[in-house]
Structure 1
Amino acid sequence: MKILAISGSGRGASTNTAMLNAVSDIARPHHEVTVFSGVARLPVFSPDAESGPLPQSVQDFIGMIREADGLIISSPEYVRAIPGGLKNAIDWLVSREEIIGKPIALMHASHRGDDVLAQLRLVLSTVSAGFTDEPFLRIGLMKLPPEEISRLMLEPSHKAEVTDFLRRFADYCGLT
């Protein structure tokens, strides 16, 4: 199964990106997880920009969505909302066929952040009939450096949680 794991953070040392990178390592060899951590590099969406050739970074992002069997999104919460970069990335997909029906699940790297999760559930269920609330995985990793996150994620209990999450997501996608 080919999974695109989208980090909603624009930070270089992002907790969400580190968690998704660890998920990518854990997933092998059963699943191929590619981490997209480039939401900050996408230009600001405007419907006017859709009338001509799309910016290359947007074309690349859309191509990654097209090639994936399913998407996993993990995002921080900024001021009780979806970070602007992630919302912008989703806006680039709204009028595109690549997202319609694409299986999407959420992961979360914090013990808090229920507002962003509620907003993501609303937005993602609007753009894709493939969005699901289950499976969902939450692992509290806030304020840890990426190296520590990688180490913690490989502990047997977290590794088992990730493996189970990926199995349930593959089941949901019909790819087991």
Structure 2
Amino acid sequence: MTRPVNILAICGSTRKGSTNEVLIDIIADLYRSSTEFIRFEGLSDLPHFNPDLDTETPPPAVTAFREQLRAADGILICTPEYAMGVPGSLKNALDWVVSSMEFSGKPVVLITASSMGEQAHQSLIRTLLVIESDLPESSRLLIPFVKSKVRDGKIVDEQLLQAVKAVMESMLSKFIGQQ
């Protein structure tokens, strides 16, 4: 028997019950037979990035985040756009892993789901590529007007459901035969 693919899911919104959190739940449910989703719950606990603290012994919350990233086979990021940019808490988390390289070569799916989202999506793509994430175009999804497509804990837009499956399959195909 093969082990499930271990996916660390990071929600860029810190609001409980956010649409992006719901998307993570939907995706985890869709792939429950072949994956194990672990939600990163410590986004709000990470201290503001400070290069002076980015040493061999960073703050405990940073160490825990880095350990979860290293243990994951792949990473799913679902995030909104705030004020035409990346949510500060998500950008802060990414800043903490620039020097430690946990994203280097790691398969990532990036879903930006917001009212618009294009600015944050493009910014995150650039950041994730700079930190050497494995982020092909097939693993990127921008979902504008998300609240019209995700309601009551379900994806109500069939085209979106197929797009979500396509980005996840893009990442999960990397693990076929490796388990």
Match of 1:175 in 2: 175
How do 1:21-170 and structure 2 match up within 5 A?
21-51=25-55, 53-110=57-114, 112-139=116-143, 140-142=145-147, 148=152, 150=153, 152-153=154-155, 157=158, 160-170=162-172
Which blocks of at least 5 consecutive residues in structure 1 are unaligned?
none
Sequence identity of aligned pairs in percent?
Answer: 32
The whole-number CA distance in structure 2 between the counterparts of 1:41 and 1:15 is 21
> Judging changes above 3 Å, is the alpha-carbon distance between structure 1 residues 110 and 129 closer, same or farther for their aligned structure 2 residues?
closer
Which blocks of at least 5 consecutive residues in structure 2 are unaligned?
none
Deviation at residue 47 of structure 1 after TM alignment: 1.1
The whole-number CA distance in structure 1 between the counterparts of 2:15 and 2:101 is 29
CA contact (8 A) 2:112 2:120 kept: no
Q: What's the C-alpha RMSD, in Å, of the aligned pairs?
A: 2.4
Deviation at residue 78 of structure 1 after TM alignment: 1.1
Q: How does the TM-score come out when normalised to structure 1? A: 0.84
Deviation at residue 118 of structure 1 after TM alignment: 0.6
Deviation at residue 100 of structure 1 after TM alignment: 1.3
Deviation at residue 156 of structure 1 after TM alignment: 9.2
CA contact (8 A) 1:109 1:141 kept: yes
Q: Secondary structure at the match of 1:131?
A: coil
Q: Secondary structure at the match of 1:105?
A: strand
Greater fraction helix: 1
Deviation at residue 138 of structure 1 after TM alignment: 4.3
> Judging changes above 3 Å, is the alpha-carbon distance between structure 1 residues 129 and 77 closer, same or farther for their aligned structure 2 residues?
closer
Structure 1 consecutive aligned stretches of length 4 or more whose deviation exceeds 6 Å = none
Deviation at residue 164 of structure 1 after TM alignment: 3.6
Moved more, 72-81 or 104-113: 104-113
Which is bigger in relative contact order (C-alpha 8 A, separation at least 6)? Answer: 1
